[in-house]
Amino acid sequence: MPSEWRQSRRVQFSETDVAGLVHFSNFFRYFEDAEHALWRAAGLTIHPEKSPIGWPRVSASCEFHRPLKFEQEFEISVRISELAKRTISYVGEITGNGHRIATASWKIACVTKFADGTMKSAEIPAAVTERLKPYQS
């Protein structure tokens, strides 16, 4: 049974700066893309059409250990560090060429969305919790 999600990528030119290094903001995109892939692997989607609930980020941090360069291959791993009643906390790592490149942690909250654009904290549906449990460390 899986305890984490892993996926491989290659740095695209559009993700780099003038020095050919990945811009720091793209690391957050890499982790979020892997998070969404984890949900798909669990048979879910984080943004189902016409869903009354949403999943805003309430915190995110990333520590950079080494640069990523254009055309470099790397692997992203994501696992759930805490599956609480109303929030999900993740930890992730990016590695490449046998080296740790970046580590991250982030938290999302389950909310009910209202027609006026407001949101209110909500409990995570049991079906979602059940499907994500295999990815909890």
Alpha-carbon distance 26 to 102, whole Å? Answer: 11
Residue 57 identity (one-letter amino acid) = R
Which residues touch 127 (CB under 8 Å, ≥6 apart)?
Answer: none
Residue 53 backbone class (left: φ over 0; alpha: ψ -120 to 50; beta: rest): beta
Q: Which of 3, 10, 12, 17 is catalytic?
A: 17
**∠ at Cα 126 (44, 131), nearest 5°?**
35
Q: 17 catalytic, yes or no?
A: yes
The pair of structure tokens assigned to 42 is 């669990």
Nearest CA-CA partner of 24 in 51, 60, 54, 50:
60
Residues classed as catalytic: 17
